[in-house]
């Protein structure tokens, strides 16, 4: 089955004849040659003379047939035939996979493309997008990022794998990366999906999936924070009263519904932001460090406990097979090592902070 739905064609019309009340034109299939275009112009009367001896010189395009969704709306009556021909030739030269990616990008709605010049530019920059045919919904995307993309494996995530909400995590990834499902099959196209797989993003992802034993403010959930418009799972939400209490122990952020944040400087910041209906957050890294300082026995248990389903302040709830115990210990060591490294133990919020003059 061909990737492109039909041919790229334009109905070229004699403007002089049209103004005289006569529709004289012809469908032109692109890409074409200069010779073929000359023959089309001859057949529709361009270059011929009217009854007053004036030459029909002008033409315009009254209709298009486009094999790529969304392109029709971007093309006007007076598009350059040379540009149309060039675009069609570029599309023809794409491989099947590249054509499929182009179709997916346009089906998904691409804000960066608004005219023929952008379309031509897009054909040269398809590698800045990633098209993932195996991803059909948010749950697939969450699983893909954490397993298939090589960030983690199910084995490495034991015992956390069974507790991960892949759908919610996939929704967050799609939101952050500007991705969209492209058609009835739910295939996904993401702008620069792999550009973020540097050390910083890997650290962000670790904190995204890391569970916490308790929230700083039980009156507001992470789901409510994300519904409010702030999506990063490495931030834990809180309301104003809790923020006033926690600010003496660690950094607090004003969270905004456009998925950005700003550092709280003092109590007045909290009052002003709360008065506007805003909520607050503390990073998981800061919160975990605080709770470990408050409960050193539990911190010790997390690093030595052989049964992660029994984190209860009592070390060693039961003997486990040595090999299994060693495997689980190595998982925790990996998580702990990310905390012990200078400067990288506490990932900063992933958006630029808002300055005071922007508030």
204, 234 contact by CB (below 8 A): yes
40, 11 contact by CB (below 8 A): no
In the chain, DSSP assigns E strands to: 8-14, 25-30, 59-65, 129-132, 180-181, 188-191, 235-238, 253-255, 261-263, 279-283
Can 8-124 and 130-197 be said to share one CATH topology?
Answer: no
184 φ/ψ angles, rounded to the nearest 5 degrees: -65, -20
Is the CA virtual torsion 42, 47, 53, 59 positive or negative?
positive
12 φ/ψ angles, rounded to the nearest 5 degrees: -90, 125
* Confidence (pLDDT) at 209: 60
* Confidence (pLDDT) at 314: 39
* pLDDT tens by residue, the chain, 359 residues: 457 878 899 999 999 999 999 999 999 999 999 999 999 999 999 999 998 999 999 999 999 999 888 888 889 999 999 999 999 999 999 998 888 888 888 877 777 788 999 899 889 888 877 666 666 677 776 776 666 655 555 566 655 666 677 777 677 766 766 665 655 544 455 554 444 444 555 566 566 666 777 889 999 988 899 889 887 778 899 999 999 999 998 899 999 988 888 999 899 999 999 999 999 999 988 898 888 776 554 444 444 444 433 333 333 444 434 333 333 333 334 434 443 444 444 444 444 444 444 44
* CATH class belonging to 8-124: alpha beta
Domain boundaries, the chain: 8-124, 130-197, 222-319+342-358
29: Cβ contacts below 8 Å, ≥ 6 apart: 7, 8, 9
CATH of domain 130-197: 1.10.10.1190
Return d(Cα 14, Cα 28) in angstroms, integer: 13
* Confidence (pLDDT) at 327: 38
* Confidence (pLDDT) at 291: 81
CB atoms within 10 A of CB 57: 12
Return d(Cα 10, Cα 81) in angstroms, integer: 9
């Amino acid at each position: 089955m061909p990737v492109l739905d039909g041919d790229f064609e334009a109905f070229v019309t004699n403007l002089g004849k049209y103004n005289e009340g006569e529709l004289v034109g012809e469908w032109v299939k692109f890409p074409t040659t200069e010779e073929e275009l000359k023959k089309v112009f001859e057949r529709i009367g361009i270059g011929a003379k009217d009854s007053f001896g004036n030459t029909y010189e002008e033409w315009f395009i009254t209709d298009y047939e486009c094999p790529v969704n969304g392109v029709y709306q971007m093309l006007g009556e007076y598009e350059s035939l040379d540009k149309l021909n060039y675009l069609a030739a570029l599309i023809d030269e794409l491989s099947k996979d590249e054509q499929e990616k182009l179709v997916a990008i346009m089906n998904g709605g691409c804000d960066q493309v608004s005219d023929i010049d952008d379309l031509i530019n897009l054909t040269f920059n398809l590698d800045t997008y990633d098209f993932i045919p195996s991803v059909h919904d948010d749950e697939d995307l969450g699983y893909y990022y954490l397993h298939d993309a090589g960030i983690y494996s199910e084995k490495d995530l034991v015992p956390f794998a069974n507790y991960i909400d892949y759908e919610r995590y996939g929704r967050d990834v799609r939101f952050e990366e500007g991705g969209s499902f492209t058609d009835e099959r739910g295939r996904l196209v993401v702008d620069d999906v792999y550009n973020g797989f540097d050390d910083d993003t890997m650290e962000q992802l670790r904190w995204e999936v890391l569970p916490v034993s308790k929230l700083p403010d039980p009156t507001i959930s992470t789901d409510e924070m994300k519904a409010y418009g702030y999506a990063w799972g490495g931030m834990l939400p809180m309301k104003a009263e809790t923020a006033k209490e926690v600010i003496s122990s660690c950094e607090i952020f004003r969270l905004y519904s456009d998925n950005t944040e700003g550092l709280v400087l003092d109590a007045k910041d909290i009052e002003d932001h709360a008065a506007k209906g805003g909520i607050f957050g503390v990073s998981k890294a800061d919160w975990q460090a605080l709770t470990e300082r408050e409960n050193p026995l539990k911190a010790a248990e997390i690093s030595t406990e052989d049964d992660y389903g029994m984190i209860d302040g009592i070390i060693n709830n039961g003997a486990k097979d040595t090999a299994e115990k060693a495997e689980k210990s190595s998982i925790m060591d990996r998580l702990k090592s990310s905390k012990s490294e200078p400067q990288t133990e506490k990932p900063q919020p992933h958006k630029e902070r808002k300055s005071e003059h922007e508030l």
